[in-house]
Chains A and B, each alone.
Chain A
Amino acid sequence: MVEIRFIEEHELADFTVADARGFGMTVPDDQQADAANRLRLTGALDQTMAAFDGGQMVATFSSYPLEIMVPGSRRIPVAGTTWVSVHTTHRRQGILRKMMTRHLQQAIEQGKTAAALWASQEAIYRRYGYGWATQFQRLAFDARRVAQRPELIADGAEIHLRMVDRDQLVTAAPPIYDATLGRVPGALARSGTWWRTGILYDAPEFRRDRGELRGIVARVPSREHPAHHRDVGYVIVRQKPAWDDRSVAQGTTNIVELAAENDQVRRRLWHAVTGFELQPKVVYEMAPIDEPLGYEVAEPRSITRNPCDGLWLRLLDVNHALSQRRYGAEGRILIEVEDRFLNRGGRFELDVVDGQGHCRAADSAAAPDVEVSIADLGSLYLGACTATQLQRAGGVRGSAENIALLHRLFATRQAPYCPETF
């Protein structure tokens, strides 16, 4: 008989091992402590559950307390679904469904507007109401073949760049992030703990063969006090030198994250990061889907781009979610939301005045203008998918006129972007 329950603190180390088994990974002993620490430090411990069979953990599940930016610069409270694994010996027994139900119920009780996750595989989570809500792309190119147009680099001479190590990033990066990347819809609010256990986590075992974390920070003279400087951007990288059989340098610079206050700063950081001696190969695993670099170089076809689904979003409180964001058009629309898994759907009236949404449960007698599943509403919410696209794929139903209104309301000028997995 399998029992699902929240775990005790002393079971954390076992939990990380059980999770690694589910993912087919190995967790060295010293990393077990680190991984357990992350759960403890980020406040996820009392939301961490496991399935036990005869005293052995056979499935894992946890939740980070997160806040996610939505269009219009407000944040919503979100349960970050994570550490989800079921051992192969216990598949097809409904364990994931039970844990997911308990997780989402707990999130509702805690007043979370939504749950969010990164999917190990994309076919799993739709049935629980998650829809992909941001995209990213992997960019890879050879810097010897991809040069930025010189006039783009010429201006911005006042931007000063300096190389920093990981510990300097711990102090320099967070305020820049808060003013730049952290304001993009889809981005997470980051605490100091989140930085240290996430983006800037750099235990030697974790580096594998990618090199240690380092960065470049951009600063400009302050307008008020020219002697003072203000940080306006950073790029965090890992580097791996290599030479091929003919002694040609073939090292790789891996970009972990790039944040810039404006496009001039962004271009300067790109210029620096593609200019490392001995590191002609540049890989940016999780670049924004609307990264402009392709329009700044002479031969964008030389950049390999692999788009992928990013953050998945599962709305739990449709009223609150739709009332928090801003919209691209004015209008009123009656939305029928179908939620087969949790029953958080229903009929909602969204009224947009001066770009701000006001949403309330609607009189159920009225006929809806559009019908959408809770998962597809998650894909619409941050602007990753448009209503027109979803309609063609069978995800949204309604008259052409109402689909067009839904499209104009939800479409965003900036692609949503979550720069980190969790």
Chain B
Amino acid sequence: MTSSTPPSPESGPVVRFVAPDELLDFRRQVMFGFGDDYDEGRVASRAALTEALGATPLCIVAEDRGRTVATLASYDLELTVPGGDRVSTAGTSAVTVHPTHRRRGLLTQMMAKHLDQARDRGQPLAALYASEEAIYGRFGYGPATFAYWLRYSHHDVTVPDGPAEIRLIPLQPNEAVNVLAPLYEQTLARRVGSYRRQEPWWDRIISPFAAQNTGSGELRVVVAERHGQPVGYVLFRLRAVWGVTRPDGTAQVQEMAYLDDDVRRRLTYFVSNIDLMPNVVWKHSAFDAPLLLEATRPRSIERIVTDQLWVRVLDVVAALESRRYESPGGLVLDVKDRHGYTTGRYRLEVEEDGHGRCAPTTDEADVELDAAELGAVYLGHRHVHTLARAGRIHGAPSTIDRLADMFETMHAPFCAEAF
């Protein structure tokens, strides 16, 4: 126990940072909070990851009479923003409140501690994946990247193949990391909305505990090579199912990286045409995935739109000066933030080269929006007008147009992995 003075029995739960020797318990409580079975192997694996990432001192718990009743973890992420810069981001994760302690403001207290800490450490952004979408808007997070979950049968849908000169090589996951990691850095890590992967993240990906909840089979790796050089990979899982009269297995695509679209076609064709696995599932496919334009019968591809990364801006000036913009122009943003981190008016001036200068101002505002909406538009997803039409961004039609022209990007932002 690290608290200097133990709370008296009458006092309520105390919100505090986690001590190193509490990490296993922290992870157990997270599993409880998510309704997972306790699995000591998985608990240890997750605890080791948290430790290896150096995230232990950032984790927060609420403690009630010596018992952990709520959890919140934080990872240091380097998030790629429009233009390619990396922005230091507090990755909010493992947020649970035990059902016995709901409606007591514990999440609000933990979130305040978490966001204060991120601000004090100079992180302009926080980001998370939401278990449920009604929770995080009030803390200033807005949905910033979207993806499709896809499913199709290769009996119905044909996809084009890439050139045969691209060779496909299966590798054991544990011997593949030194091939995968540099490819990830060159491709997915550079996608707006994705983050760099320090080595411990790879341990998590190849960990046998990773697929435990999904029942989708063990991790498999196929690497694409051109002239002997690795140019892409697909991480996938196979689940063999024998129907009464024919095989009915599923290939689930977890992650695909490629240097160009020929490699993408080669890998997509491969994973869509595995014997005994007529069903193909993509856990998350980019919103502007070319697959939907290339497939022979796209209506037969089942699609579910999913929100991915939610972004919370903590430092408007640093965040807006880190990204680049699609068109030049000036705009005064009036940001409302009930938690105070970003409250104020800011003038953003974008030069011809797409670089922006941002500073507080007292000038009249062109656009009014909540911190959550600033997070929602920050990575460039094309929904500025839709947010305005839904009453979430306020401004004259011409300034909404300018906001969209400046902030929206040609390619859809995409987060390669949930955390």
Contact = CB atoms under 8 A, between A and B. Distances in A.
B60 to A, nearest CB: 26
Given A299-B134, A404-B410, A413-B401, A306 B303 contact: yes
A301 B261 contact: no
Which residue of A263, A292, A404 has the most chain B CB atoms within 10 A of its CB atom? Answer: A292
A290 B299 CA distance: 19
B385 A390 contact: no
Given A300-B133, A389-B288, A413-B401, A263 B391 contact: yes
B387 interface: yes
Given A123-B297, A308-B299, A413-B385, A152 B307 contact: no
A123 B299 CA distance: 10
A248 to B, nearest CB: 24
Contacts, number: 77
B261 A299 contact: no
Given A296-B390, A414-B385, A392 B290 contact: yes
Contacts of B391: 149, 151-152, 263, 267, 296
A385 B261 CA distance: 18
Interface string B89-133: 000000000000000000000000000000000000000000011
B293 interface: yes
Contacts of A149: 391
Contact of A263 (B305, B306, B383, B390): B390
A407 B409 CA distance: 11
Contacts of A413: 385, 401, 404
Q: Which range contains the number of A residues in contact with the other chain?
A: 35 or more
B288 A388 contact: yes
A267 B411 CA distance: 30
B246 interface: no
Interface string A391-422: 01111000000001001000001100000000
A295 B373 CA distance: 11
B411 A388 contact: yes
A322 B1 CA distance: 72
A280 to B, nearest CB: 19
A267 B303 CA distance: 26
Contacts of A293: 390
B147 to A, nearest CB: 13
A134 to B, nearest CB: 15
Interface string A308-348: 11000000000000000000000000000000000000000
Interface in B363-392: 383, 385-387, 389-392
A122 interface: yes
A266 B390 CA distance: 10
B385 A295 contact: no
B293 A385 contact: yes
A298 B134 contact: yes
A146 to B, nearest CB: 11
Given A295-B387, A295-B390, A404-B410, A389 B293 contact: yes
7 contacts: A149-B391, A292-B386, A301-B306, A305-B304, A309-B299, A390-B293, A392-B288
Closest 4 CB pairs of A and B: A295-B390, A393-B293, A393-B290, A292-B390
Given A122-B298, A123-B296, A298-B134, 10 more contacts: A122-B297, A263-B390, A263-B391, A267-B391, A295-B386, A295-B392, A309-B298, A388-B288, A390-B293, A407-B410
